[in-house]
Amino acid sequence: MSDYFFYRNLWWEKGEFSEKAKWEEVTLPYVLAKGVAIDDYEERVEKFSIHRCWEWLNGEVLIYELSSMSHEVCIGAIVKQINKGCGNADETNAEIYGTGSTRTRDRNHGKEPDASFRPKKMTVDAPNGSNGNNCPWPNLVVEVAYTETLDHAEEALKYWMSPGRAHDCIIVKVDPVSQDRVPVRMRAWHYCVLAGRKTRNTVPLVTTFEFGTQDDMGVPLTITQGQCVINISLSCLYHDFKQPDPPEPPIQPQTLLPDPIPLDFYFVQQTIRRVLDY
């Protein structure tokens, strides 16, 4: 085993992310381990607190994203937009809960989102739940790709938008830059099972836009507030919403929140630029 493989293997064996592994030279997704049962995979994810970097697919543990400031800041900025849009329902029975990067599984796949959201929902019939049992799936999922390839992000989209799972999925691709630079090209796609036009992978695309400061040809872009917006319908966000039990009166989310909820990616871009411009 070469030194590189030895140090890369330490991430699986001991949870040690070593610079000697030269992760910057790795092509993702990278097979970290083979012949692994999903229970063993989930045990190590929990033990080493590895979130949003690994996934399990048919017995293989894959690295699909390497943690970076750009990745985490982008996720945080999108989550802030969602929390702000849903804030009026806080501390009511219609509150939208952030379920974060809670791990999920099906028969062949184990995966965590970058962020996820849902209201209080009914349980589902086992083994169709997000935990392989009866736990409900999130209604809104966010995936941000930085070192992750766009092709892999599209595979994640198929996983989240399979029948009976999420209703909306936001995919964001931030093109990587050198460590001392601020990302300039950023793109977003919004998919929803109830709206939009069909794409080659059969998931309905609602909208897509560039929200960075340059396009793929290096042409400068200037976006303004309200120009790059993703709208989340309450009917999707509250799919399978469990109303409070009597004698509490039923709650209509439309009386608390706008429909749809707008997520303005102008503020996501501004947050990334401000945090990383140092």
Q: Domain of 176: which CATH number?
A: 3.90.1570
Same domain, 139 and 72: yes
pTM of the model: 0.93
pLDDT at res. 277: 87
Burial class of residue 232, CB neighbours in 10 A (0-12, 13-18, 19+): buried
Same domain, residue pair 53 and 111 = no
Provide the domain count of the chain: 2
- pLDDT tens-digit profile of 105-136? 998 999 999 999 999 999 999 999 999 999 99
* Residue 211 pLDDT level (bands cut at 50, 70, 90): very high
pLDDT digits (tens, 9 = 90+) for 59-86: 999 999 998 999 999 999 999 999 999 9
Residues 75 and 148 in one domain: yes
Domain that residue 263 falls in: 67-276
Decide which of 47, 63, 79 is a domain's last residue.
Answer: 63
Distance in angstroms (rounded) separating the CA atoms of residues 47 and 76: 24
Same domain, 85 and 158: yes
Same domain, yes or no: 55 and 116:
no
- 7 and 74 assigned to the same domain: no
**Mean pLDDT over residues 205-231, rounded?**
96
Q: What's the mean pLDDT in 24-32?
A: 93
